[in-house]
Amino acid sequence: MNLFERYLTVWVAASIVVGIALGEMLPGLFQTIGNLTAYEINLPVTILIWLMIVPMLMKVDFKALHEVGKQWRGIGVTLGVNWLIKPFTMAALGWLFIGVLFRPLLPEAEIESYIAGLILLGAAPCTAMVFVWSNLTKGDANFTLSQVALNDTIMIFAFAPIVALLLGISAITIPWETLTISVVAFIVIPVIVGQFLRQLFMARGQTAFAHFDAKLKPVSMAALLATLVLLFAFQGQQILAQPMIIVLLAVPIILQTYFIAAIAYVANKVLGVEHKIAAPSAMIGASNFFELAVATAIGLFGFSSGAALATVVGVLVEVPVMLSLVAIANRSRHWFADAKTTTSQTSEVSK
């Protein structure tokens, strides 16, 4: 992990402070930015989201889909956890903690919006950072790439229906037009642009592609921070009035992360999957495509909504929680059948 990725929580915290301060100092400016919309989608944020997501999707090689059959058990666990369990358990935890247990401590008018933000997080499996988590656990690179490619393909078609279903179950009004436009704007278009850039620079060789990717990474991270500054410029008064909101929203997100990782990890163990497959399979189930969740929350509910705040809390806790899961996966490597093989290979190399 580079310096930015390792201390992402610190940068997010700094963005919170900067955003709140600017929101208090220049309320008129941020109100103007918030009003720059088309079909309920904020245009400045859309540009920032594209700058954030496209470099990540550019790394995905959809040709890797042919590798899926080689590790069908790990892929099966990943898909089952991502699409049949995770969105629904996140909705259930959101309802339990935000809708019931923490309800007296939260502003009543934002309860449904907070739950909606949690649902958006749960319905968006990780696309980019999972490559980092996989690498840190010595995961199989081809498996990680193929499962990300398959997940992104499914997300194009499944994200909107699952979100609509769960928002409907939670009795939240579904703005179908905005939801559809959000999927096109924040999934379909970035995938097309990312793949176009990938083909363009890969045609010039792997070195050219790596060089271009390195140049885009700071742009992507800067766009993420700029988006967070805008969000907190709008959320500032609410957070200052009730700072415990962030802590309360973090509880179901953290519990969900550990719960989903445990299900995927244990399922892979029971199925006899190797550790180099089981670890990234658990990681992609546990982590979130928070960039998509943030963008969709803004599009559906607005900058100052509880949904947008809930998705940003997901960004805040992502790195420390996932690093703890990486540590757990590395320390439990001996549980898996391939651990002895890996150890012996390492010994041979050292000799």
Of 123, 55, 144, 121, residue with least CA distance to 311: 121
Note the residue count of the chain. 351
Phi–psi pair at 102, nearest 5 degrees: -95, 0
Taking each helix axis from N to C end, the angle separating 290-301 and 206-241, rounded to the nearest 10 degrees, works out to 50
What residues contact residue 303 under an 8 Å CB cut-off, 6+ apart?
Answer: 34, 42, 45, 230, 231, 234, 235
Q: State the burial class of residue 242 (Cβ atoms within 10 Å of its Cβ: 0-12, 13-18, 19+).
A: middle
Element spanning 64, H or E: none
Model pLDDT, residue 346: 41
The residue ranges of the chain whose pLDDT is under 50 are: 341-351
Cα–Cα distance between 165 and 180 in angstroms, integer?
14
Q: Is the pTM of this model over 0.85?
A: no
List beta partners, residue 125.
288
Model pLDDT, residue 347: 43
The position carrying tokens 């790195």 is: 319
Tokens of 38: 């088309």
Cα–Cα distance between 157 and 308 in angstroms, integer?
23
Cα–Cα distance between 1 and 239 in angstroms, integer?
31
Model pLDDT, residue 351: 44
The angle formed by the CA atoms of residues 214, 196 and 157, to the nearest 5 degrees, is 110
Tens-place pLDDT, residues 234-292: 767 766 767 788 899 999 999 999 999 999 999 999 998 899 889 989 988 888 877 67
Contact 67, 143 (CB under 8 A): yes
